[in-house]
Structure 1
Amino acid sequence: MDIPLPPWRQPSPTRARAARPPLTRDQIVRAALRIVAAEGLDAVSMRRVAAEFDTGASSLYAHVANKDELYQLMFDEICRDIPIPAPDPARWQEQIKELARSGYEAMVRHGDVAKAAMAQIPTGPHAMRVSDAMFGLLLGAGMDPTKAGWALDRIFLYIVADAYENSLYLQRFGDSPERVHEYFVEFTGQLRDYYESLPASHYPHLRAHGEALTSGDGRQRFEFGLDMLVDGLARLIPAAPASE
């Protein structure tokens, strides 16, 4: 028969607390991404993530070796849903651009998480799926594997750097793309006026072309750079033999 405990034997609040369900790696990564969205990548630490679960950092180490691995896991997670096009050699340039745009958008949606990929070679399963797809598009177009590998590296660096710079503008000048656009309009107007006020004897080209130098928004410039990179790869592909 069950009988109640006497008052002096009541369980302490600590012992009475229900056991927490064990953490999973996915939960840890998702919590870290929430911190990035709210506070930026530099706010992410093992201790800070553990606090999201009301526990100590030691409980995370069974799933994540250290902060560097957590950064890599976070970056890999944002690559999970990047769509991979079915290879079409006739459209290889446009397909690479589509894949690059999708990667760029995935990074931009997650604050400054692109910083986690700088000076790193992402080796998570989702990131490698994207890398393998882009590498395959280059190989399918007829590019030498070494040049295709270098091209993959340069395109990836361009995407990551642009996405990271975009996050810096968001941190400094507003919490929305609209606010950043307003800042650009204001700043580029001031920059144009400044260029046009420079002495022509020392800076003739900046003075004469201030309007051109400050034209276009961030997305237009991203697309221009992407075209410049990808379209330039065509010269690295051996020409097909002339038909008889």
Structure 2
Amino acid sequence: MNPRERRAARHQPPNPEARTGPRPRRRKAPITVEQVIDTALHVIATEGYEALTMRRLAGALDTGPASLYAHVVNKADLDELLIARLCAGLLLPEPEPAAWREQISGVCTQVRDQYLKYPGISRAALAMAPTDLETVRVSEGMLAILIAGGVTPQAAVWAVDALLLYVAGYCLEISILKQRKVHDEGDWVVDTGELRDRLAALPAETFPHTTRYAAELTAGEGHDRFDFTVALMIDGLAHR
């Protein structure tokens, strides 16, 4: 079975009746897909998603890049495997109509926390077609929560897409900011207090609202803005 056939097989429910014949003995244990995923996540956790290339991954596995293509089709396929692994760690609640807002917000928070463990990995989720079973499981669970809460199917489907897109973008921005602080662009990044002072010092006649609300523009700690935006999106669904 070639890598493309393996990839297609991963998108199908497991077949308990499937049997495989005996495999020839090898001197060295072959690399598995799970090892590829584990190693890729380790590279991202320690060096960031931008450092993950097929060559870098092959080096971490002590093999050649060509060997990886026996397990993954290409970088996009690897991205799908990585996001699927993170999705496998999410706990999806049984939909409760009376608690649908809290439930959908909770799932978004879980996704956020998974992404932030691996700097920049949310980039892999952008423009990715959700075909892996674990990824579809998450979108299915979110869809079930929204529909149970009375959201129309079309609005629910688009809302799941919008929420996941926001979570990915939010996490990506955080990873980029942290990367700039660590590398040689660190001096370019200003802290909240300095930014507030810069905005307040602008010509008030040209920027009346920016100068007046400089404190509000720079307010928020931790994930305050994330919580606000997710709640805003959910409230919008409720009003529809």
What TM-score comes out, normalization by structure 2 length? 0.83
Q: Which amino acid aligns with 1:42?
A: E
Answer yes or no: is the 8 Å Cα contact 1:135–1:148 preserved in 2: yes
Name the structure, 1 or 2, with higher relative contact order (CA <8 Å, separation 6+): 2
Distance (whole Å) between structure 2 residues aligned to residue 98 and residue 197 of structure 1: 39
1:192 correspondence with 2:196: yes
Q: 2:179 maps to what in 1? A: 171
After superposition, where does 1:1-20 map in structure 2 within 5 Å?
19-20=27-28
Q: 2:125 maps to what in 1? A: 117
CA pair 53-198 structure 1, distance change in 2 beyond 3 A? closer
Shift of 1:174: 4.5
Q: 2:219 maps to what in 1? A: 215
Q: 2:19 maps to what in 1? A: none
Q: 2:10 maps to what in 1? A: none
Answer yes or no: is the 8 Å Cα contact 1:47–1:57 preserved in 2: yes
Distance (whole Å) between structure 2 residues aligned to residue 201 and residue 46 of structure 1: 54
Q: 1:224 maps to what in 2? A: 228
1:45 correspondence with 2:53: yes
Distance (whole Å) between structure 2 residues aligned to residue 43 and residue 207 of structure 1: 40
Distance (whole Å) between structure 1 residues aligned to residue 217 and residue 71 of structure 2: 49
Distance (whole Å) between structure 1 residues aligned to residue 98 and residue 58 of structure 2: 49
> Which digits, 9 at most, give the CA deviation of each residue in 1:76-108, with x for residues without a partner?
111111111111111001100001101110111
Q: Which amino acid aligns with 1:114?
A: S
Distance (whole Å) between structure 2 residues aligned to residue 144 and residue 57 of structure 1: 47
1:107 correspondence with 2:111: no
After superposition, where does 1:28-177 map in structure 2 within 5 Å?
28-174=36-182
> In terms of mean alpha carbon deviation, does 208-217 or 99-108 score higher?
208-217
Shift of 1:61: 1.4
What TM-score comes out, normalization by structure 1 length? 0.82
1:206 correspondence with 2:210: yes
RMSD of Structure 2 on Structure 1 (CA)? 2.0
Answer yes or no: is the 8 Å Cα contact 2:50–2:120 preserved in 1: no
Distance (whole Å) between structure 1 residues aligned to residue 61 and residue 194 of structure 2: 47
Distance (whole Å) between structure 2 residues aligned to residue 56 and residue 191 of structure 1: 47
How many pairs are equivalent? 212
Shift of 1:45: 2.0
Distance (whole Å) between structure 2 residues aligned to residue 219 and residue 146 of structure 1: 29
Q: What are the ranges of 5 or more consecutive residues in structure 1 without an aligned counterpart?
A: 1-17, 237-244
Q: 2:13 maps to what in 1? A: none
- Please say which structure displays the higher CA radius of gyration: 1
> Which digits, 9 at most, give the CA deviation of each residue in 1:21-48, with x for residues without a partner?
0111110011111111122222222222
Q: 2:23 maps to what in 1? A: none
Answer yes or no: is the 8 Å Cα contact 1:76–1:122 preserved in 2: no
SS class of match (1:79)? helix
State the percentage of identical aligned residues.
37
